[in-house]
């Protein structure tokens, strides 16, 4: 099922309208890339807002269960709820089928 979602997102990005991306200088190239990024970012924000935010249970390696909200609770937020110093020391979190780095 995850594989189908990956292929769907690849198809979605491959259908982007890239017309008008012809440029004659590096600054035009940079401006075009920033404009493309902004369009993709806004599309992602819109998609994020439409996701359901249901209560979830997060099981930690020591067996403890922490409450969270789907599509809202981040691994960094879980680390902060455990200990402020842990949130400063953590670099990455392993989530089934996904890996998050601290800045995500």
Q: Is the pLDDT of residue 1 over 50?
A: no
Both tokens assigned to 77? 């937020």
Cβ-contact 81, 69 below 8 angstroms: no
94 vs 54: CA distance, rounded Å: 21
45 DSSP assignment: H
- pLDDT tens, 37-73? 999 999 988 887 788 888 989 888 899 999 999 888 8
H helix runs in the chain, sequence order: 2-14, 26-49, 75-82, 84-89
pTM for the full predicted model: 0.49
């Amino acid at each position: 099922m995850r594989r189908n979602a990956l292929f769907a997102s690849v198809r979605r990005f491959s259908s982007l309208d890239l017309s008008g991306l012809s440029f004659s200088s590096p600054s035009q190239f940079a401006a075009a890339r920033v404009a493309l990024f902004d369009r993709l970012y806004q599309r992602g924000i819109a998609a994020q807002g439409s996701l359901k935010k249901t209560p979830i249970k997060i099981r930690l390696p020591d067996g403890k269960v922490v409450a969270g909200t789907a599509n809202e609770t981040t691994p960094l937020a879980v680390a902060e709820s455990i200990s402020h110093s842990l949130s400063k020391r953590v670099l990455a979190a392993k989530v089934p089928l996904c890996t998050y780095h601290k800045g995500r």
